[in-house]
Amino acid sequence: MATPLRSNSRLSTAMERTGQWVFSQEIPTDVIVEVGEANFNLHKFMLVAKSNYIRKLIMETNEADLTRINLSEIPGGPEIFEKAAKFCYGVNFEITVHNVAALRCAAEYLQMTDKYCDNNLAGRTEDFLSQVALSSLSGAVVVLKSCEDLLPMAEELQIVQRCIDVASARACNEASFPCRTPPNWWTEELSILDVELFGRIIGAMKQRGAKPLTIATALITYAERWLRDLVRDHSGNGIKCSEPIDSDLRIQQRELLESIVQLLPAEKAAFPIHFLFCLLRCAIFLKASSACRNEVEKRISLILEHVTVDDLLVLSFTYDGERLFDLDSVRRIISGFVEKEKSMASHPNLDEIEREKVCSSMDPLKLSYEARVHASQNKRLPVQIVLHALYYDQLKLRSGGADDRNQPDAVTTRNQLQADVSLVKENEALRTELLKMKMYISDMQKNNQPGTSSKSVGTRKPTFFSSMSKTLGKLNPFRHGSKDTSHIDDNLGVDVTKPRRRRFSIS
C-alpha cells in the first residue's frame, strides 16, 4: 500500500485512498513508484497494461527484478499520477477543466495512448477537451491557466494554442454580441491568466478584427487586477512605498507594466486619459524603461484637450502624497500636444483625410467662443471641425443661451451631431447635384442669349432650381462632413458674428 508523508496532509490523504483501492486487490504489490516525495506501492502488470513507458522501463532495466521506479518528472506531480494509476486499475475518478490538461500531458509522458491500448487515458482526455472544456470561454481560460505549469509539453500538444483560439473567438463574439451581464464579464475571465498567455489572446483578438475599444477594456481590467494598488489608487493617500524599488515584487510589477504597455492598441484615443495618467505615474514610480514611459506620454499628449486638473495632479505627488513627483513628464506631454497643433499650420497641403487624422483628438465642443469663431474661419481645419463649431453656436442661439454657462451639455450635443450624419450627407449630395444643374442651365441660357448683358442676367426671374436651392439651404448645414471646402469663397460662408435664427431638422 502507499506510504504517506506526514509533512503533507493532502498527499497523505491521497496516499491513504490509493492504498485502500490497491490493497483491495488482495495481491501483494511488487513495485514502488516515486513521484517527488510521494511513494506509491503498485502492481507492475496493472501499470504495464496501460503505460508503454513503464513497460519499456521494466523491459529495458539491467536489474533482475525492478522494484522501484522514479517518475518525478511526470507533469502534474503526485496528484495527477494518482489519477493515472487509478485509470490503470479501472478505478473511477473525475476529469475536470482544472485537471484535464495535466492528465493529457501525463498520458503523453507515460505513453498511455490509444495506439498502445484502446480507450486509453490520452483519448479520454482529448474527448473531454474537445467536447466539454473547449466549448466555452470560461472552460478554455481555466484550461489555459492550468497550462502555465505544464509548459513546454502543453504547447507541444497544441493544448495552449487551441485554448487561445477558442478564448479569442469567444471573447470577440461576447464583445460584439454580449449574452451575459455585465457585458464586460469576459474581461474578468481573461484577467486570471499570466501576462504572456493573456498577451497571446489579445494578439489573436487583434487578428480577428477586434475593435480598439474592446482591446482597451480588456487591458484596463487586467491592469487593475494585477497592479491594483498602483493603478486604482488616485488619491495620494494610498500605499506606503516601504517596498524597495529593487525588490522582487517591484521588478515583477515593472515587467508586467511594460508588457501591458506593449499590448496597447494602435488607436491612440482608445483609453480614458485618467487611466493613461495612472499608468504613467506607475511607470515613473517603478522606474520603467524609457520606451514604456515615452509611449504612455505620447498617447496622453494626443488627447490632452480632455485633461482635467485631477488628471494632472495624479503626476504631482507620490502614492503617499508627501512630495512632488516627476514634473518633467508633464512638460514633455504639453510639448507633444503643442507640436501636434503646430503641424496643421506647417503642412497646408494636407488633404481632408489627413487633416481629419491630425485633428482626430480635438473636441470642438470644448472650445471657447473665440476659439470656435477662429475654427469656423480657418480653412486649414477639416470641414468636420468647422461644422461642429458652427452648429454648436447655432444650438446655443436657438436655446437662448448667452454664454458658455447656458450651453447645452456637450455629450447631448455630440449625440445630436452623430444622429444627423446620414441626413447631412444626403443634403450635401443633393445640393451638389443642384449646383451642377444650375451651372448647366446657366450655360444653356448663355448659349441661347449671346447678347444678354450682365445686368439683365442679374435681374432675371428666379428659376425652379434656384428657388429649390434656397429652400434646401435652410436645412441645417452645420453637421459632419467629409468633403474638402477649402475651395469655397469666403463671401459665401456663414456670418458667424450675426448668425440668423433658423429651425434645424434633426432626425
Per-residue pLDDT of the chain (507 residues; tens, 9 = 90+): 344 333 445 545 555 555 555 555 567 888 999 999 999 999 999 999 999 999 999 988 877 778 899 999 999 999 999 999 999 999 999 999 999 999 999 999 999 999 999 999 999 999 999 999 999 999 999 999 999 999 999 999 999 999 999 999 999 999 999 988 889 999 999 999 999 999 999 999 999 999 999 999 999 999 999 998 787 655 444 455 556 677 888 899 999 999 999 999 988 778 988 899 889 989 988 899 999 999 999 998 888 877 777 777 777 666 665 565 667 787 888 888 777 767 656 666 666 666 666 666 566 666 666 666 666 666 666 666 666 666 666 666 666 554 444 444 555 555 555 555 556 666 777 778 778 888 888 887 777 765 544 444 444 545 544 555 555 555 544 444 444 444 444 444 444 444 444 443 333
- Quote the DSSP letter at residue 408: P
Quick one: pLDDT at residue 488? 46
pLDDT of residue 289: 94
Alpha-carbon torsion (340, 346, 347, 348), positive or negative: positive
Reduced to 3 states, what is the DSSP secondary structure of residue 267? coil
Q: CB of 88 within 8 A of CB of 63? A: no
Quote the pLDDT of residue 9.
53
Residue 380 to residue 343: CA distance in whole angstroms:
11
Angle at 432 between CA 428 and CA 437, to 5 degrees: 150
User: In terms of C-beta density within 10 A (0-12 exposed, 13-18 middle, 19 or more buried), how is residue 491 classed?
Assistant: exposed
**Which residues make Cβ contacts (< 8 Å) with residue 355, sequence separation at least 6?**
344, 380, 381, 382
CB 141 within 8 A of CB 175: no
Polymer length of the chain: 507
| Residue with grid cell 469663431, as numbered in its chain | 373
Strands 38-42 and 68-70: unpaired
Strand pairing of 68-70 and 31-35?
Answer: parallel
Q: Which residues pair with 41 in a beta bridge?
A: 32
* CATH class of residue range 1-131: alpha beta
* Helix H or strand E encompassing 1: none
Query: For residues 95-112, b (16+ Cβ closer than 10 Å) or e, as one string?
Result: bebebbbbbbbbbbbbbb
Long-range contacts of residues 142-146, Cβ cutoff 8 Å, at least 24 apart: 142/97, 142/98, 143/97, 143/100, 143/101, 144/193, 144/197, 145/192, 145/193, 145/194, 145/197, 146/97, 146/98, 146/99, 146/100, 146/101, 146/102
**Cα–Cα distance for residue pair 40/2, rounded to 1 Å:** 5
Count CA within 13 A, CB hemisphere, residue 214.
25
The pTM assigned to this predicted structure is: 0.66
Long-range Cβ contact pairs of 390-397 (< 8 A, separation 24 or more):
390/477, 390/478, 390/494, 390/496, 390/499, 391/417, 391/476, 391/478, 391/479, 392/364, 392/365, 393/369, 393/496, 393/499, 394/476, 394/478, 394/499, 394/502, 394/504, 397/499, 397/501
Coil, strand or helix at 385: helix
Every domain range in the chain assigned CATH 3.30.710.10: 1-131
* Distance of alpha carbon 410 from alpha carbon 391, whole angstroms: 12
- In order, the DSSP letters of 224-249 are HHHTHHHHT--SS-S----S-TTSHH
- Other beta carbons within 10 Å of 262: 12
Strands, DSSP E only, in 12-61?
31-35, 38-42
Q: Quick one: pLDDT at residue 266?
A: 86
pLDDT, residue 49, reads 93
pLDDT value for 383: 67
**Which grid coordinates belong to 474?**
435652410
Give the cell for residue 41: 506501492
Q: Residue 27 carries which DSSP code? A: S
What was the pLDDT predicted at 79? 95
The most distant pair of C-alpha atoms in the chain lies apart, rounded to whole Å, by 125
Q: What is the pLDDT of residue 294?
A: 92
pLDDT at position 52 is 95
Taking each continuous run of H as one helix and of E as one strand, the counts in the chain are 25, 3
Q: What is the 3-state secondary structure (H, E, C) of 434-465?
A: HHHHHHHHHHHHHHHCCCCCHHHHHCCCCCHH
> By three-state DSSP, how is residue 58 classified?
helix
* Helix (H), strand (E) at residue 397: helix 383-398
